[in-house]
Amino acid sequence: MMKINNFLELKDFQKIIIENEKIELDESLLSRVNKSFQFLKEFSKNKVIYGVNTGFGPMAQFKISDEDTHQLQYNLIRSHSSGIGNPLPAQEVKACMLARLNTLSLGNSGVHESVIYLLQELINRDITPLIFEHGGVGASGDLVQLAHLALVLIGEGEVFYKGERTSTKEVFEVEGLEPIKVEIREGLALMNGTSVMSGIGIVNAYKANQLTDISLRLSCAINEIVQAYDDHLSEALNGTKKHYGQQKVAERMRAHLADSKLIRKREDHLYTHFEEQEKVFKEKVQEYYSLRCVPQILGPVLDTLEYTEKVLENEINSANDNPIINVEDQHVYHGGNFHGDYISLEMDKLKIVVTKLTMLAERQLNYLLNAKINEILPPFVNLGKLGFNFGMQGVQFTATSTTAESQMLSNSMYVHSIPNNNDNQDIVSMGTNAAVICRRVIENAFEVLAIEAITIIQAVEYLGFQDKVSSSTKELYDEIRKIIPAFSNDMVMYPYLEEVKKYLKTM
């Protein structure tokens, strides 16, 4: 059981979202929420407060009478529950709920504690609201997507419960849960924020970390297959470039390859007996870039991911609705903390580097499949009869087309603002769109890496290197061989691709 108080780290999200750890609310958190609620209740009397006694957006100029203020919040929630498209995956919705709980718990939103309690129960009981991919423009927050969350909290809409899409009312009856009763501004406070794009972003970052590690391990394995020289991984060489990511990737590769019997030292082969060498060297002096430049290619991926995680962590621990309630100053501040540009930009950057990682995998795959350039493997790593069997020829088309899709998807959402809301929202972030597209690029990467992984294992098989590769590569070999046997005859590949993809996601 994890106690929620103030600052949540991404590793906390991992424990709750991925490992299903339960949460409990700290007393100091509840005290903070109650102080904020009581202050707003008193402060809003006889004052014009946006979203409390005014309309919303361009209709903020309309005063709302006291007897209509509660209904105003219900109207906002229901009218904006207008998403469409595919439902968000359960992990992303759970991350969104935790992010919303955390930001509302900071005491800057003036919500009733019942909101916090019900969010806690939904998270702990794995009840995930139906939230659609399409809807929000990410500027006045994730208005449409968060409206679907708010809709569930008032006991309406639909949820996913025990694998089924079910009405909220039915699930609440089964679980003995009570909907919240809107008090002052619960509708606006729940909807006005960046928690959906942040929730998707957190899951994206977790998966991007997995991809980086997998790509690094596969890059090590392919260097073993060609018996590459070790100087391009050396601390001496990579230390001359002052980028943390590059140095870290090289360090991790050296660790993975420490017990390999295949990686060679240049001084043992090319720095001796120069006069005895042929005029045309039989052995390659340097490998192709996709093998030799892995630290320089994956280094920026690692650096970008680290910064993205920092931005995500800042966002989920920030007040990101409007207006902001400040009990200490005894004031209510109007502004634009709901704007999602920070997340939007990071999701664009993350999908770009994941696409580059995918491109690296596709080029490494091509190297293995093209006998004319690797000069050690049969065409398409075909372990059967050349001309009669096809080896990995068919799956290369899938890897190439999937990589091409990611390249196209890597165009920026951050710079694609479209004014709307009677031009009140005249520049927006498109942050949730950016996060959803980033997720698609990440899924594509898992598919391409699955194809590369099978090809590497087939190459190890052909060369008989099972007992010479590093323990890291041998572990990968053994696990994938449990899924797909060594094959020389052609067989239907798609079930194996899916299973290897699932395995990579558990690494």
User: Can you tell me the distance from the alpha carbon of 288 to that of 505, in angstroms, rounded to the nearest whole number?
Assistant: 28
Structure tokens that stand for 131 in this block: 């939230």
50, 74, 117, 503: the active-site residue: 50
Task: Give residues with Cβ within 8 angstroms of 29, minimum separation 6.
Answer: 4, 5, 6, 105, 116
| CB of 400 closer than 8 Å to CB of 442 | no
Closest CA to 223 of 114, 105, 414, 364: 364
Q: How far apart are CA 303 and CA 294, in angstroms?
A: 14
Residue type, 110: G
Q: How far apart are CA 253 and CA 234, in angstroms?
A: 9
The answer to whether the CB of 206 falls within 8 A of the CB of 289 is: no
Cβ count near 318 (within 10 Å): 16
Active site residue 503: no
Tokens 């005894």 correspond to 330
- 66: three-class secondary structure by DSSP: helix
Please state, in angstroms and rounded to a whole number, the distance separating the CA atoms of residues 187 and 149: 10
Q: In Å, how far from its chain's centre is CA 217?
A: 20
92 Cβ contact partners less than 8 Å away, ≥ 6 residues apart: 196, 199, 200, 203, 439
- Check if the beta carbon of residue 161 is closer than 8 Å to that of residue 94: no
How many angstroms separate the first and last alpha carbons of the chain? 25
Quick one: which of 496, 461, 220 has its CA closest to 360?
220
CA dihedral 207, 432, 12, 189 (to 10 degrees): -170
* Helix ranges, 44-131 (H): 69-80, 90-104, 113-124
Q: Tokens 């490494």 label which residue? A: 364
Parallel, antiparallel, or unpaired for β 2-4 and 23-25? parallel
Strands, DSSP E only, in 191-304?
Answer: none
Contact (CB, 8 A) for 418 and 332: no
* Residues 338 and 50 sit within 8 Å (Cβ to Cβ): no
Instruction: Give dist(CA 379, CA 303) in Å, integer.
Output: 36
Token code pair at residue 443: 């899924």
3-state secondary structure of 410: coil
The whole-angstrom separation of Cα 407 and Cα 334 is 40
> What type of residue is 181?
K
Q: Show which residues are catalytic.
A: 50
